[in-house]
Homo-oligomer: A and B are copies of this chain.
Amino acid sequence: MPKKVVIVGGVAGGASTAARLRRMDEDIEIIMLEKGKHISFANCGLPYHIGEVIKEREKLLVQTPQSMEERFDIDVRIQHEAVKINREAKVVEIKDLQSGEVYQESYDKLVLSPGAEPIKPPLPGLDLPEVFTLRNIPDTDKIKNFVDEKKPSRAVVVGGGFIGLEMAENLHERGIEVSVVEMMDQLMGSLDYEMAAMLHNHLRTKGIDLHLGDGITAVEEADGRKIVKLQSGRTVKTDLVILSIGVNPRTELAEEAGLEIGSSKGIKVNEYLQTSDPSIYAIGDAIEVKDLVTDRSVRIPLAGPANKQGRIAADNICGRKETYKGTQGTSIAKAFDLTIASTGVSEKTLKDLKWDYQVVHTNSNNHAGYYPGAVPMMIKLIFAPDNGRILGAQIAGYDGVDKRIDVLATAVRQEMDIYDLQELELAYAPPFGSAKDPVNMAGFAAGNILNGLVEPAYWQELENIDPEQTVILDIREEVETQLGSIDNSINIPLNDLRDNLDQLDPQKEYIVYCAIGLRGYIAARILNQNGFSKVRNLSGGYKLYKAVKD
């Protein structure tokens, strides 16, 4: 059993390690170093404090140095920065940032949880005082004070990941007109394009101005305002800029000490979360982890993994062998009324990796349609064509999205397949779900594809249809077509299909579509069994197609 553990970083990973260590062992000397003024704060709540959703600043401070000392007998040293590790001597060099004094502290085990740094590219104007990044309490104070005092009317958020989204929403809530600039052609890179398209549309209806596929090149000043210049040549006037284009792991300390750095630039650790020096553990945003599905080395800077890794590192330090098996990137974000979530691998990653995969989109209500307040969600399920293993899932919707992504995250982690989804016995009463839950439904639809009952078509294919060869068959009710339809499609409502088969040429190819894919599937089954051999059902139906086109 070690006698003395030093922890670098006092927030998600670091504080979790400290607390668990103490519960495991009353006698270890535990020193927790934090270069900032706060420990154990709610990083994830910061945007919501700026938006005044979380009104009291103190709520962000989950623990204080005093409370950690009282409860856990931890020697908490804020404004103390670990500046060097001497591995041979097992000593950390520490700088007291208030006094400037540098001193040494020995360790039996060292835990690194230094987190990550917001990326700030070397572009002109990014050092202006109106350009902010958000990582900690001082950052939050700065942005909030700026908003409170300067009452800006326009903001540009650069980077459309979840922090960017949350900032866009929270600044909007403060009455600010917000533009989001994103280099990729979509927001929320963990989603595939068509799922992100629903998010884009929702943000636009809320009045958020999107600049997709466009990067920032500079921030300039003019007439007391800032001008954000974009690669496209466009410019956006603004009063403040939030940079949220991602984070870099804080690896300097580890690198200087000669610890191994992985291919994804995070600190390399083994399954016990030990670095290349077995006396030094590393956790959180600073490390690279194994992607649970693809086995690749990736960085997944999220709080759930950081907290759990802290607990596992503490256990290992105390001699209770625990392994960290990997991360699956489960994430969720609220964007105004919409919720978007994902787990596992995306289609675009699988495409890059040249893996075989199969996709289905289903659209189900969060609960029984006859019970008031039912709202739809679109689920994208990605699975292996050979054995049906679930590789990833993405959902866009409202209430109940978080529930389904958690069930699917469990499925990904347990290496479940789509047939397992069909069998899940989930809790059903009208206010909560349906006798066939959306997750069951996704399993059914996926199973029908794997079993060869129906072949799917995808929105991407509709670009290059040769009308001589392929008929786009709209089987919605006539009244539904008034909401728009796919170009060059012909309409035969599903219930009339059996009686109108003679109007259709069985030699041709068919892409059948309805609103979401359910009736399209029924139509495809009817056609299949009546001598039409080349029929496919548009996955996600007109709803998904329209989301992409809008």
User: Chain A interface (Cβ within 8 Å of chain B)?
Assistant: 12, 23-27, 42, 44-45, 48, 53-54, 59-60, 62, 70-71, 73, 162, 166, 292, 302-308, 311, 320, 325, 327-328, 330-334, 339, 341, 343, 368-372, 402-403, 405-407, 409-411, 413-414, 416, 420, 422-433, 435-437, 440, 444, 451, 453, 494-495, 498, 521-522, 525-526, 529-530
Task: Select one of B330, B423, B435 contacting A426, CB under 8 A.
Answer: B330
Task: Select one of B70, B414, B423, B430 contacting A44, CB under 8 A.
Answer: B430
User: Taking A332-B432, A403-B403, A426-B406 as contacts, is the C-beta distance between A53 and B451 under 8 angstroms?
Assistant: no
> Contact: B44 with A429, CB < 8 Å?
yes
> Contact: A45 with B368, CB < 8 Å?
yes
Please, how many angstroms separate the alpha-carbon atoms of A427 and B344 in the complex? 11
**In chain B, what residue has the closest Cβ to A303?**
B435
> Contact: B423 with A406, CB < 8 Å?
no
Task: Select one of B403, B432, B522 contacting A23, CB under 8 A.
Answer: B522
Task: Select one of B42, B320, B339, B427 contacting A406, CB under 8 A.
Answer: B427
Task: Select one of B372, B420, B435, B526 contacting A54, CB under 8 A.
Answer: B372
> Contact: A420 with B414, CB < 8 Å?
yes
> Contact: A435 with B45, CB < 8 Å?
no
> Contact: B425 with A409, CB < 8 Å?
yes
Within the complex, the shortest CB–CB distance from A352 to chain B, in Å, comes to 22
User: Taking A368-B45, A411-B410, A498-B73 as contacts, is the C-beta distance between A334 and B425 under 8 angstroms?
Assistant: no
> Contact: B403 with A406, CB < 8 Å?
yes
Within 8 Å CB of A426, what residues of B? 304, 330, 406, 409-410
Within the complex, the shortest CB–CB distance from A451 to chain B, in Å, comes to 7
**In chain B, what residue has the closest Cβ to A373?**
B53
Within 8 Å CB of A430, what residues of B? 42, 44-45, 48
Please, how many angstroms separate the alpha-carbon atoms of A343 and B432 in the complex? 15
Please, how many angstroms separate the alpha-carbon atoms of A333 and B431 in the complex? 9
Please, how many angstroms separate the alpha-carbon atoms of A530 and B73 in the complex? 14
Task: Select one of B12, B444, B495 contacting A435, CB under 8 A.
Answer: B12
With a 10 A CB-CB cut-off, give which of A44, A45, A328, A433 has the most chain B CB atoms.
Answer: A44
**In chain B, what residue has the closest Cβ to A53?**
B372
Task: Select one of B26, B423, B437, B525 contacting A529, CB under 8 A.
Answer: B26
Please, how many angstroms separate the alpha-carbon atoms of A436 and B343 in the complex? 17
Within 8 Å CB of A62, what residues of B? 370
Within the complex, the shortest CB–CB distance from A525 to chain B, in Å, comes to 5
> Contact: A429 with B370, CB < 8 Å?
no
Within 8 Å CB of A42, what residues of B? 368, 370, 430
Report 13 cross-chain contacts, Cβ distance below 8 Å, ordered by A residue.
Answer: A24-B453, A26-B526, A44-B428, A44-B429, A59-B369, A304-B425, A304-B437, A307-B436, A308-B423, A308-B425, A328-B425, A343-B425, A406-B426
Please, how many angstroms separate the alpha-carbon atoms of A23 and B454 in the complex? 10
**In chain B, what residue has the closest Cβ to A344?**
B425
Within 8 Å CB of A307, what residues of B? 435-436
Task: Select one of B372, B410, B422 contacting A410, CB under 8 A.
Answer: B410
Within 8 Å CB of A420, what residues of B? 413-414
Within 8 Å CB of A427, what residues of B? 330-332, 341, 343, 402, 405-406, 409
